[in-house]
Structure 1
């Protein structure tokens, strides 16, 4: 046998109880015959964060920002005019243009390589 919990609402020891009792049974002891309330449902476990993916993306972003800053500084400090040899001829132009073209072609090649690697991974 257990003693009523004086801190549970509706019990005789509850100072806020006005003596109405349990409506279904009419008892004045606060409904000690009533079933105990069901425990709250357990929450579904949250998805675990993919810390490796987050770190990889953060590192890639940091490297992209770093190389962009280095490229901009390199372009600013190399503003002289140079002769650019192309497959079909030679042209005179600022070194900045040659560096931007080279950077754009390098970025294009890296992007295409990424597409090829993703396509190979999907096939497996």
Structure 2
């Protein structure tokens, strides 16, 4: 009985360590994928930054906070929180999600000539059954 209890305890410890390791790896991988997209935008001459990245393995939910994209002409898009629920792994240059949601949206269009600067604000927006490219730049 004692050997069985020790074996069961060891098995539970290994399962817990495996669970923690898988979650850490998936979180690291999600952060790397998001960083790669923003790096490509910066390489193309745009200002691109984001805050924290979180991935929930069981909900397959990706959250990117404090997204900021700025064009060289001064136009910008700022999103407080971008969430993809039911997201799939990128395949053939495309990604799908059951729902894409954005909160705290600001879109600013720079002034050109006599036209004044234009600012659009929205508390949130969502798209159900999203499918689109896995990058923000044309290939």
Normalised by the size of structure 1, how large is the TM-score? Answer: 0.30
Greater radius of gyration (CA): 1
User: Comparing both chains, which one has the higher relative contact order based on Cα–Cα distances under 8 Å and sequence gaps of 6 or more?
Assistant: 2
Name the one with the larger helix percent. Answer: 1
Name the one with the larger strand percent. Answer: 2
